[in-house]
Structure 1
């Protein structure tokens, strides 16, 4: 009797071991999926249809179950990893293919006649760069949105915050070279402000022809506000008006003000570590590979200060929500971050000498500054100085009393109404 029981237990042990091995590998599969390809388990955060995500998830688990019948030998583990990598690469490729901007629909879920909602490549300076074009009526005026940066992408951020602009404009959001979906458009080490200007010029010519417009509007945000001034100064005949928000005027003076502000904040709260860090790196200008990190040392302080300021309506930004937008595939999500990490340090040092109070005293287009009263990242006093000496066919400085650096996010309704 004891021998029979012993034989049964002996038979069960391999079976238990196999089941445990399978469960272990399934857990490993889930862990790897969460790290390498989290959107497989979170369908709401990706552009890939849920049915295809489920197929990839099932493929990963099926692969683990199949391979689990073999032991933990080096060749088997290598095969196991290779299978994971292959499935993950296919999933990444699928996420890029299915990336798109959402359609513009009426209350019944039907496409609005004459509306346009596309995301596509455009050849600029011989390179393929990306843009979204959105509007409820393709016959409306064209508005080109120039994002933060250099190296920033706001395809999703602007779509969410400025949706109502689509009622009155055809809104074009361009991922500039070295940013977002255009991250690999050209050799980032060769990027210059002039390249951005000429690409923007070519894009506007393309939009004029496509939509039959003689001129377009341009809205620039932070770095985009500086780029906007550079473009309208060189090609005024192409623009109805320039709108700047989070306006950059004089880069070196701007950042030195931010540096002093951050240093003072750190001293007031007794943060000796931050004080020492800022003093050790010294005030700008910075050059070399660590430009971003040195700039971030004081810019993070300014943004944190604005985020905590009760006078500012809301920060408005939700990075995870933006990353989850349908415009970005998995590789784009990675480049959402890499754009700033790689591109900022290349282009920003080329802007230290930019001062529009000296270099753009006259613009041949109407100019509108939409400025947050509590902006400490682009100090309003510089914008006021520039506004007062600027000569333009029409100019207006419009204050947003509950905003910081981003009135279009802090006071969205007022911002959209002002433009419309």
Structure 2
């Protein structure tokens, strides 16, 4: 399916969302008017037949809305890759009683498997990886995973714990190994995904060629304190009294309860804005609107894309404050490569470098991306892809020698 059709579908989905929202508002207002008339004993203003017709119209309209949403969910897809041995799938899978979605894309379905672990918790990057690093599909079968509680997998967010993600990630790895008849796979972990990848490989090292991590998370609470302090420092330097007051009001992390996302956003968004304005960084990063409007997501998925960021992050992140992989994962049995943005303000580079220095691994490498912030895979995507491909070549040989 060509680019024009993709763009047209995006526009159609956007228009449908606007229309549905508008129609829902009309239905709600009409219902409130009818209810109000009854409560005020103004039954004489509405005869029985007119009232019946009004409710029938509302029911029909709501059924139409559900049909439109259902069709959009059913028709979601990942763009086709041409070629006799190519693969381009968007499918639902179930691991450990949790239903979730994956995209599987590659020009050669016999190529090595690369599993991309998105940031979050609660983030979805099915479309973003396809847009930003299409060259990976020439060398790998690239697997995107909507983890429980994110976008297409939002319905599986009940009682989520960090350990659930590790269990599901390993179950997904087993599914991929069995389906494609491969002994091991590669991992690319981004931000929260960098921690998840290390945990998966630490638990089942025999299933992975190695890990390529970016936006490395090391100690979640220490990260938040550093980020908060940096944001407060920047607001004072800029004379941004309003931001300074808000930061002082929310106080230093950790945060618990139902507003973790909103409190964290006060300084994380501020640091993101700072990176977006940094001329040393190649581009501002995520194109959220483009990604949400991508054909991988039906109308309900598009709403859940945002809800995952808000609610799943809120529920899971406060469970991570005691994590420090310098203490618990100081030795790995698989190769690891860190691709770190020099100007990353969200995941402190000092912590990533400290972890690298103490880490024991069969092979380890730390590479600075001089024109990147938190997302080198977006800021310097071509160089990032080159490093991933180099890892495939080097680690495959290393694993062959060790057998």
Q: Same fold (TM over 0.5)?
A: yes
> Counterpart of 2:78?
101
Please state how far the C-alpha of 1:43 moved relative to its aligned partner.
4.3
Structure-2 change in CA distance of 1:231 and 1:47 (3 Å): farther
1:369 and 2:360 aligned: no
Across the two proteins, how many residue pairs are aligned to each other? 354
- 5+ residue gaps, structure 1, are 1-41, 61-70, 106-111
Is the Cα contact below 8 Å between 2:157 and 2:312 reproduced in 1?
Answer: no
Quote the residue 1:175 is aligned against. 146
In the TM superposition, residue 81 of structure 1 has moved relative to its aligned partner by 3.8
**C-alpha displacement of 1:185:** 2.1
Rounded Cα–Cα distance in structure 2 between residues aligned with 1:394 and 1:330:
44
The aligned residue for residue 84 of structure 1 is 61
1:79, CA displacement in angstroms? 4.3
Deviation at 1:74, TM superposition (A): 5.7
Match of 1:399 in 2: 368
Cα separation, 1, equivalents of 2:345 and 2:319: 22
Aligned to 2:275: 306
Between the aligned partners of 1:230 and 1:367, the Cα distance in structure 2 is 13
Match of 2:349 in 1: 380
Q: Give yes or no for contact 1:215–1:237 (8 Å, CA) kept in 2.
A: yes
Which position in structure 1 is the counterpart of 2:238?
269
**Is structure 2 residue 103 aligned with structure 1 residue 138?**
no
What whole-Å deviation, never above 9, does each CA across 1:276-312 have from its counterpart, x for those lacking one?
2111211111110010011001000110000000000
Question: 1:149 touches 1:344 (CA, 8 Å); kept in 2?
Answer: yes
Q: 292, 308, 311: which is aligned to 2:261? A: 292
1:23 matched residue in structure 2: none
Residue of structure 2 aligned with 1:390, choices 359, 363, 369: 359
- Quote the offset at 1:213 in angstroms: 0.8
Query: SS in structure 2 opposite 1:264?
Result: helix
Q: Which has the larger radius of gyration?
A: 1
Question: 1:74 and 1:161 mapped to 2: Cα distance?
Answer: 54
CA contact (8 A) 1:46 1:326 kept: no
Alignment root-mean-square deviation, CA: 2.0
Separation in 1, partners of 2:363, 2:168: 27
Distance in 1 separating the partners of 2:283 and 2:157? 36
Name the residue aligned to 2:88. Answer: 117
- 1:5-37: CA deviations, max 9, x gaps? xxxxxxxxxxxxxxxxxxxxxxxxxxxxxxxxx
Instruction: Report the equivalent of 1:358.
Output: 327
Contact 2:9 2:295 in 1 (8 A): no
CA distance in 2, matches of 1:83, 1:207: 43
Q: Distance in 1 between matches of 2:11 and 2:190?
A: 27
Q: C-alpha offsets along residues 333-354 of structure 1, whole Å, 9 cap, x if unaligned? A: 0000011111111110111111
Q: CA deviation at 1:76?
A: 5.1
What SS does the aligned partner of 1:392 have? Answer: coil
Which 10-residue stretch deviates more, 367-376 or 264-273?
Answer: 264-273
The TM-score with structure 1 as length reference comes to: 0.81
Question: Where does structure 2 lack aligned partners over 5 or more consecutive residues?
Answer: 1-6, 24-44, 390-403
Return the offset for 1:83: 3.5
Structure 1 residue 78: Cα displacement:
4.3
